[in-house]
Amino acid sequence: MPGDGPTLVLARHGATEWSATGRHTGRTDVPLSETGRRQAGALRDRLSRYEFALVLTSPLRRARDTCELAGLAEQAQLEPDLREFDYGDYEGRTTDQIREERPAWSIWRDGAPGGETPDQVGERADRVIARALEAGGDVAVFAHGHLLRVLGARWIELPGAYGGNIALSTAAVCELGYERERRAVWLWNDTSHVR
């Protein structure tokens, strides 16, 4: 991959019962489903081509277990800023359920009452990016769908709300790097290893 800096390899955790049903899963520490464990195991071969200077994982179990099943737990450091979006009062609810009370609601525009806004999540993503850039090499990041989408947007210097424009499947891999001196997205939402 051409460029003048490290590659950030993002890995979304495998499926959970809540992700399979579209429930917003922020603070709730739900485990991987059997499907999610298989998906996470498939990351082992997919990520074996890299030599990581740093491996970061969200402290939530679904991300930590994905990191472990991908074979990188021994190198991993917990990073609290990689926790998922705090959905506040909307935790555990689906978008359809929320829109029964609040039509046209969008996490990307409206945030969550009692939780976070995309800009607040973007501040956390910026701290993760800064830590990754100090690592001196490629970095693996195991985290959550909405947080990683915000991180992708912030990598290319867009507001966190632009994460709403870049979908991310469970157990997907993304590569963020450089084209010459500019930050660039080289790969997004690759799930070829779990098909």
142 in Cβ contact with 40 (< 8 Å): no
Active-site option among 17, 51, 74, 84: 84
Nearest to 4 by CA among 177, 188, 191, 192: 177
Is 84 an annotated catalytic residue? Answer: yes
13 is catalytic: yes
Catalytic-labelled residue, pool 13, 24, 144, 146: 13
Catalytic residues: 13, 84
